[in-house]
Amino acid sequence: MEENLIKTYQCEKCGHTTLEEVMENVVQLSTVSHLDESGCVDYGEHSSQEGDVVQYQCETCGEPVRAEDGTIPDNGEDLRDALKFRVRIGQCAEKSE
């Protein structure tokens, strides 16, 4: 069975458990759903393309995940290694289903 490592994530600062990815240089595409006489535009669906991951951070306080050597992961493989390290040193809550 595949393990979901994100379930091991817990913010070092505030203890919350939702992790978000921060990207820059993203191209956002939005469906234009409404345009009125004054030029006011409303949007429907959004999607994004491209972009570079800056860091993974706590959704609540913005504290970034750090790897064992203090660097900030910017890809899934480094994030995996960082979360595994946190579990190993006991900084993460081990949550089981």
Let me know if 90 is exposed, middle or buried by CB neighbors in 10 A (0-12, 13-18, 19+): exposed
Nearer to Zn ion, 29 or 61 (CB): 61
Which CA distances in Å does 42 have to 11, 26, 49? 36, 20, 20
Residue 62 CB, nearest distance to Zn ion (Å)?
A: 7
Nearer to Zn ion, 51 or 60 (CB): 60
Nearer to Zn ion, 29 or 95 (CB): 95
Could you list the residues that contact Zn ion (CB under 5 A)? 11, 13-14, 16, 58, 60-61, 63
Residue 66 CB, nearest distance to Zn ion (Å)?
A: 13
CA torsion angle 75 79 80 82 (round to 10): 140
Residue 12 CB, nearest distance to Zn ion (Å)?
A: 7
Of 51, 44, 50, 48, give the one whose Cα is nearest residue 28: 48
